[in-house]
């Protein structure tokens, strides 16, 4: 009786791991984009301050 429950838990765990990986991937992608954008605007601001 434990077998079907265990396999269900395992499949759910696999799905959770996939979702986790997808979230980490998206967050890292957005983080890189955000960092590039903020670095770019920061450089522009620095140039404006210097000039």
Q: Residue 21: what pLDDT? A: 92
Return the SS3 of 50: helix
pLDDT tens digits for 15-40? 889 999 999 898 888 877 777 777 77
- pLDDT band of residue 3 (cuts 50, 70, 90) is low
pLDDT mean over 4-17: 80
Q: Concatenated DSSP letters for 26-46?
A: HHHHHHHHHHHHHHHHHHHHH
CA 2, CA 34: separation in Å to the nearest integer? 47
CA 32, CA 40: separation in Å to the nearest integer? 12
- pLDDT band of residue 5 (cuts 50, 70, 90) is low
More confident residue, 11 or 41: 11
């Amino acid at each position: 009786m434990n077998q079907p429950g265990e396999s269900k838990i395992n499949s759910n765990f696999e799905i959770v791991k996939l979702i986790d990986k997808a979230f980490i991937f998206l967050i890292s992608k957005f983080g890189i984009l955000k960092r590039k954008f903020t670095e770019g605007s920061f450089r522009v601001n620095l140039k404006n301050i210097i000039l």
